[in-house]
Amino acid sequence: MSRPSILVTRRWPVAVEAALSERFDVTLNKADIALDTGQLREALRAYDAVLPTVSDKLPAALFEDEAIRTKILGNFGVGFNHIDIAAARAKGIVITNTPGVLTDCTADIAMLLLLSVARRGGEGERELRAGAWTGWRPTHLVGTKVTGKTVGIIGFGRIGRAFAQRCHFGFGMDVVFHNRSAIDPMEAARYGAMQLQTVEDVLAASDFVSLHCPGGAENRHLMNAARFAAMKPSAFLINTARGDVVDEAALISALEHGTIRGAGLDVYEAEPNVPERLSAMDNVVLLPHLGSATEETRTAMGMKVVDNITAFFAGREPPDRVA
């Protein structure tokens, strides 16, 4: 009996590629260049399983082909808004993701961004590397104190809670949050947090606003011009969720006009493209989607995909099925 044929769309950790190769007939993308629409269409025709990442866009049009062979998409990542779920489901394609294993590392990156933008770390490093630092002086790169400030969290799932824990117990911050469903106050108190009724309530109260909600149609441009105007002029935005949660044009305008003080971003609307006006700003810290980028986490994510597709082809329910 032949083994299922699998396409891995990007290079994965060596241990994960080895595990896949032991169990399946695997094709690797050795060039590690994102596949274009035509290549993805051919992949859906040629393989029993395709293992995509956030860099692979799978819109509805790709699933209109009558010759689709793929039975499962084993997504490498928690978010799956780069896949048209309804169109894939209509073709009978199962979709899985990799929740749980990247919680701490993504929360760490959110904390890194918050500290960096508050204390102007990015500006300082650029100045020093450029040879422009003239020495210590009392008014040089004066930033914002973090301890005792209020952080507002939009989305209180695993990552939002881990971030709240770091802010409250690590830095003595007050934590408020908005979540689409009610959280037991006793559970929220474990993280030093209090739930507020609306996003606007959180924005008005917060010195830092950190996004930890899913991407996709439901939350597209959740942060828009009106909501930036609802923030304090001294406040900072942190985004480690998904790029489409933020209207980048509105963010750029808010930063340029002083509607908010700064931003720390790890994700963007049209990755890997970042608007030049955003890149040119000193009051913005930019990272290249590093949320889960530790050896331990990326390997754990890959092994979750291995477990999901192994279960599927063995006739069992994949543990992390989302559709």
- Dump pLDDT digits (tens) for 124-172: 999 999 999 999 999 999 999 999 999 999 999 999 999 999 999 999 9
Q: Specify whether 221 is catalytic.
A: no
**Token code pair at residue 9:** 């769309």
- The string of pLDDT tens digits covering residues 72-105 is 999 999 999 999 999 999 999 999 999 999 999 9
Interval 275-321: pLDDT, tens: 999 999 999 999 999 999 999 999 999 999 999 999 999 999 999 99
- Calpha distance 302→14 (Å, rounded): 10
**82 counts as catalytic:** no
**What residue ranges define each of the domains in the chain, with the CATH number in brackets?**
5-101+295-313 (3.40.50.720), 103-286 (3.40.50.720)
CA 171 to CA 301: how far, in whole Å? 29
* 242, 248, 269, 298: the active-site residue: 242
Catalytic residue chosen out of the listed positions 42, 271, 277, 321: 271
**Residue 257 appears among annotated catalytic residues:** no
